[in-house]
Amino acid sequence: MDLFQSKISVKAGRFRRWAGRSDGIALLLVMWVIIILFVIVSEFSYTMRSELNVTRNLKEDLECYYLAVAGVQAAMHELLNQFDNVYNDLDGNLVLENKSKTQHVFQDPKTGERIVENFESPQPLRTGIPLGSGFFSYTIIDEGGKLNINRVTNKDDRAGSPYQVLRKLFLDSGVEPDVQIDIIMDSILDWRDSNSEHHLNGAEDDWYEVNYEEQGFDHPYKAKNNPFDSVDELLMVRGINREILFGTQKARDLFGPEAVSTEADDEILYRGVYDNLSAFNVSQNINENTASTEMIEAMYPDNSVDILDKRTQNNGRYSDRQVSSYFTIVATGYLANSEAQHSIKATVWRNRRGKNARVRIDYWLDNELSETAGRAQPGSIENEKQLQ
């Protein structure tokens, strides 16, 4: 009996030891299961948050896109109005002036002299316009005040010729007056001419097929041998890079420090020529009311001072009858409580016959990075200035 009880006691002890080990193993298994479940839940939560952020960003970008489209439409509606003079006022805002509403012409009863009185019309609101859950802003730029790069077809030593104006714009912006300017000018001529013979310092297909990396491209390409479709196309031309085209500061802001040739943040090597060039201005002349100071000095070297002085004295007007056919619209849509925004750049052609006008879109660039119409909400300083 004692022997039997002792065997039972031994087996019971073994069972208790085995049960103790089993409890430890079970505890470890439970801990591992909890850890695995925690990792799975955490990954799932991270994935859901990421997808939620992506969805929200897409939604906000789509909202901003249609707000920007509304800005383009608002600008086109403004261009459909009747006007007979286009100028930039001293604040840099484009004014579409209807002389019948801003000019009073009468005759002095004593002397019989014809007297003309000009007065300023209120500017339309173009910034911080509310629509739905967001806002849109737009600017209108006159292409008539710029040089059409497609008119530079051959070397011309005459002062004021398209070739000499473009050359002076590059030189005034910081391009060196040696081989650098010759490479740029000859390459522009080669890019759009119809033959494959390059000028002395120019470039044709053979150069671009070998040296494409110098222009920032990862694959060979050929000279276009056709007119420029946009000013941005100049980046494909030998000798021209982002810094030369946009200017040191703007290239640094848009594309980062690697886009400029200086490490100093306050050093400006090039002022840029982008804002003075167009691929759309069909006029042989420029609009002196909207041309930049650099353009006036390059186009009219002999009487540029008189033109600029007259504009200063007359709130930006040099002539009372300047109407252009092409305008560029930059519209930006944005939301009130979000950093999301979307910009669209469109160049439109305006044709007027009699009292009727029509507008046609000739160029459309979605999510434009180089320009923005700015952000302002109702009640801001920018809006108060426009409403005054």
Question: If 0-12 CB within 10 Å is exposed, 13-18 middle and 19+ buried, where does residue 10 land?
Answer: exposed
d(C-alpha 155, C-alpha 74), whole Å: 42
Backbone phi, psi, residue 366, to 5°: -85, 140
* Per-residue model confidence as pLDDT tens digits over 275-300: 999 999 777 789 999 999 999 999 99
Global confidence as pTM:
0.80
* Per-residue model confidence as pLDDT tens digits over 187-227: 999 999 988 888 999 999 999 999 999 898 999 999 999 99
Q: What is the mean pLDDT of residues 319-339?
A: 91
User: For residue 385, is pLDDT > 50?
Assistant: no
User: For residue 332, is pLDDT > 70?
Assistant: yes
Q: Please provide the size of the chain in residues.
A: 388
Domain locations in the chain as residue ranges: 55-387
pLDDT band with cut points at 50, 70 and 90 for residue 118? low
Contact of 192 with 225, CB cutoff 8 Å: yes
Higher pLDDT, 270 or 282: 270
Determine the pLDDT at residue 383.
45
